[in-house]
């Protein structure tokens, strides 16, 4: 599904002669294709989103490096590419209260596990909410709830 959307957007960008968009979309598709070749099967949507997160992380790192080096053209390029990749990522929960509510629901669903070992719920929460918030935010909120 996400791969089809990227292909359609790539075709549209080709028609519009938007080379920056075409280049990053080709890069995304090649990363997905390379992983499919390595696994010798079609990736699941979750694996494709994971690939997008890795690409976004790479772009953030190159943006930071460009900022440290003071290279304005690379900064602009990395920002543009990051915006394009971010459009395909699921929206993160920015509100801590909403994230806290989701974590409380997960704790309620896994109450027996939580009663035995409160730290074991970290794995469940991170696995379930990894596309909604960063793992560091999830762990910080979990620690504030368990204290």
- End residue of a domain, out of 86, 108, 125: 86
Cα-Cα-Cα-Cα dihedral of 94, 83, 136, 95, to 10°?
Answer: 0
What are the pLDDT digits (tens) for 69-85?
A: 889 999 999 999 999 99
pLDDT for the residue numbered 2: 87
pLDDT of 110 reads: 81
Compute CA distances 146 → 98, 129, 141, whole Å. 17, 18, 9
Which residue range forms the structural domain that includes residue 106? 96-146
Cα-Cα-Cα-Cα torsion 37, 42, 46, 47, nearest 10 degrees, comes to -10
State residue 132's pLDDT score: 78
The answer to whether residue 91 is domain-embedded is: no
- Using 70 as the pLDDT threshold, list the residues of the chain that sit under it: 146-147
Same domain, 53 and 123: no
Q: What percent of the chain has pLDDT over 90?
A: 42
DSSP alpha helix (H) spans, the chain: 2-15, 19-39, 45-69, 72-86, 96-109, 111-116, 121-129, 135-146
């Amino acid at each position: 599904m996400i791969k089809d959307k990227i292909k359609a957007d790539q075709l549209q960008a080709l028609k519009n002669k938007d080379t920056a968009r075409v280049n990053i979309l080709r890069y995304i598709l090649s990363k997905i294709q390379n992983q499919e070749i390595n696994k010798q099967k079609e990736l699941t949507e979750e694996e494709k989103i994971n690939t997008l997160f890795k690409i976004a992380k790479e772009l953030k790192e190159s943006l930071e490096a460009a900022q440290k080096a003071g290279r304005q053209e690379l900064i602009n390029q990395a920002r543009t590419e990051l915006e394009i990749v971010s459009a395909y990522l699921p929206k993160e929960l920015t509100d801590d209260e909403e994230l806290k509510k989701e974590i409380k629901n997960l704790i309620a669903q896994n109450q027996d596990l939580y009663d035995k070992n409160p730290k074991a719920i970290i794995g469940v929460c991170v696995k379930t909410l990894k596309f909604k918030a960063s793992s560091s935010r999830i762990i910080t909120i979990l620690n504030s709830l368990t204290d």
